A and B are shown apart, each in its own frame.
Chain A
Amino acid sequence: MSIENGDAVSAQTETQPVEAKRTDEALLSVEGLTKHFPIRKGLLQRQVGAVQAVDGLTFDVKKGETLSLVGESGCGKTTTGRLLTRLLEPTAGKVIFDGKDISHLSVGKMRPLRRDIQMIFQDPYSSLNPRHTVGTIVGAPFKLQKVKTEHGVKRAVQDLLALVGLSPEHYNRYPHEFSGGQRQRIGIARTLALRPKLIVADEPVSALDVSIQAQVVNLLEDLQTEFDLTYVMIAHDLSVVRHVSDRVAVMYLGKIMEIADRTALYERPMHPYTVALLSAVPIPDTSRRGNRERIRLQGDVPSPVNPPSGCRFRTRCWKAQEICKVEEPPLAELAPGHRAACHFPENTDKLTIDPTGASHS
């Protein structure tokens, strides 16, 4: 089924050196990606500070794989997604797509590339224009990119609708006549219209009920196989992330704390933050109640306007020491394909610890 392909890619990951892949296989490659939103004040709109929403991200996304970005609210996931699709222009750093630096392309130059990079939005309600019919919405890509379709736009749209599991009769309906899950499918159909190579999905299932969420997750997986898609999946639900991704990047306050292969990350998390995140996930199993080893983070995420010095996580980290305050840990490759930015990483002895705190079943 669909997942073999992904597994193959991740298998590759573990065997090949990182540098090599970056040059030949990466569909998308990001270097030092930074976005600071200026905070302006006063009559003259002087800049008095900046929200350091994303600060120096570096990662690659290989063709056909799914890379997930996880992290707490406000850590810069959406901003990253919007930078990748060039809805935002980076303050610094590079976004290289298919070998082409798109970081500062003009709107006009970017337009042809938009066929290849598409985005799925989080909110199925606000991502569809309530005044447009489904036909108009899903047909918009053809219109905007002036793509000729073999049997006309209507036919193409109806095919797309069928593809995402909607009835082609829905062509003339309006978004408000659909449920959240169906709307998300409409959004996905629109994304697929131009047969993109890369899809950035910003929390595509967060707004949906569990039962619907599963439908959409399955749909996304199926589409990936069928069209050989590459996904950058943004999510905060670690269980979903584990289910859909090949590789996972954990973000905290605009920085990547840890990036690794799915299995590696879930089974041998190295960054304390990742460990804490995993241990906070509630497990639907009553038998584990009480006998699960928990790490409870204290306090809240600091403000991205003036993030902590050194390691950004140090204010909530139980392992933090003086050095964490002074020196920012580099995102170092501590194991093949497994990078973490921590002075005192966990699981470096390659001891397998079940992150859920229970014995492996």
Chain B
Amino acid sequence: MTPPLEVTESTAAAPPEVTLAGMSKKAIQGRSLSQIAWLRLKRDKVAIAGAFVIIALILAAIAALVLDRVFNVIGPNDFHQDLIDTEGGTLAPKGTFGGMSLEHPLGIEPVNGRDLLARIFAGSWISLLIAFLATVLSVLIGTVMGVMAGFFGGWIDTIISRSMDVFLAFPLLVFAMALVGVMPDTVFGLGSETVRIGMLTFIIGFFNWPYIGRIVRGQTLSLREREFVDAARSLGARGPYILFRELLPNLVAPILVYATLLIPTNILFESALSFLGVGINAPTATWGGMLSEASRFYTMPHFMLWPGLAIFVTVLAFNLFGDGLRDALDPRAR
């Protein structure tokens, strides 16, 4: 019998279709798509800068928690009313630029004189935590719904798609406000802050899922038509195998990208809710809440500048990173 091999060794070492500069082509065994994406991402300076800011933020948020609890630095809720102009009655910080000083680098709040820097830091973890958790929730619901709709099709698809329409037709913010207003404040003996965070997470996360759901559904629909799904079926694979082993790994990239881009949206959503007065309870600092308070003192713009900047930088960092990630995972998308 003739050996079925008409292939010489040169075929075996055929160059990968995706080649990268400076990479020896044979050096890496089995470079997966994610590894390639990572290599691409590493070269995207802006995205990496975004990632660094995000990491710094997370560290700062953790530091804020630890410092607040462990070390006795200026607390985010400590009053400094001695620095407030109470005699003149204006209740503005004494001194220029909102009471900026070495001790209070970003100045202090009017009325009670709380340190803005400390509050910005303290606010970071709430913002990030809620945004992260809400994103996780949206992604979970969105993925499950999207995959179900896309994979099963038929009436399941119809129902899920219609319910996504319903969600999209709701004036979300109004709805979220209404919900926050009527939701109980304490549940299962949990403290009000925990409940509040949970509730905000739920509301933000719950209302954002249709967006990711649509994307996942679309992706699933197109993946479902790929022949490798048929290949698996022709090998006798069951539904769950196809779903989890064949489809999901391919959905990870778009989901990841969308999640990174959803986080900034959720940060904005949380701050919007706080701004509208339905966020986390006082005195816990949140950026949106600080902005909302600052809006009452618009004559002292420095007061709204810092939380506004904090939101901006965070959101920007996530957006930059998300953009970079998308480009890295799907270089064609841009």
Contacts and interface: CB of A to CB of B under 8 A. Distances in A.
- Chain A in direct contact with chain B (Cβ < 8 angstroms): yes
Interface of A: 1-2, 82, 85, 87, 107, 110-112, 114-115, 117-119, 121-123, 126-133, 140-141, 144-145, 162-167, 169-170, 172-174, 176-179, 182, 187, 190, 194, 215, 218-219, 222-223, 225-226
16 contacts: A82-B230, A87-B233, A112-B236, A114-B234, A127-B231, A129-B232, A129-B250, A131-B249, A167-B9, A174-B30, A174-B32, A176-B16, A177-B30, A177-B31, A222-B1, A222-B2
A178 B14 contact: yes
A178 B18 CA distance: 9
Interface string B20-35: 0000000001111100
B246 interface: yes
Interface of B: 1-2, 4-7, 9, 11-12, 14, 16-18, 29-33, 226-228, 230-238, 241, 246, 249-250, 252
A174 B7 CA distance: 19
Given A174-B31, A176-B33, A166 B7 contact: yes
Main secondary structure of the interface of B (DSSP, over half): loop
A83 to B, nearest CB: 12
Nearest to A179: B14
Given A122-B227, A164-B4, A165-B4, 16 more contacts: A119-B230, A121-B227, A128-B231, A131-B249, A141-B235, A144-B235, A166-B7, A173-B29, A176-B18, A177-B16, A177-B30, A177-B31, A179-B14, A222-B1, A222-B4, A223-B4
A132 B248 CA distance: 11
Contacts of A127: 226-228, 230-231
Contacts of A162: 5
Contacts of B33: 130-131, 174, 176
Contact of A126 (B12, B32, B226): B226
Given A169-B12, A179-B14, A129 B236 contact: no
Contact of B250 (A117, A118, A123, A130): A130
B30 A172 contact: yes
B315 to A, nearest CB: 31
A194 B233 CA distance: 14
A219 B16 CA distance: 22
Given A165-B4, A176-B18, A144 B32 contact: no
B30 A173 contact: yes
Interface centre among B32, B236, B237, B249 (most CB of A within 10 A): B236
Contact of A165 (B6, B18, B29): B6
Nearest to B6: A215
B32 A215 contact: no
B14 A182 contact: yes
Contacts of A218: 4, 6
Contacts of B228: 126-129
Interface centre among B7, B18, B235 (most CB of A within 10 A): B235
Contacts of B235: 114, 118, 140-141, 144-145, 190, 194
Given A131-B250, A222-B2, A107 B12 contact: no
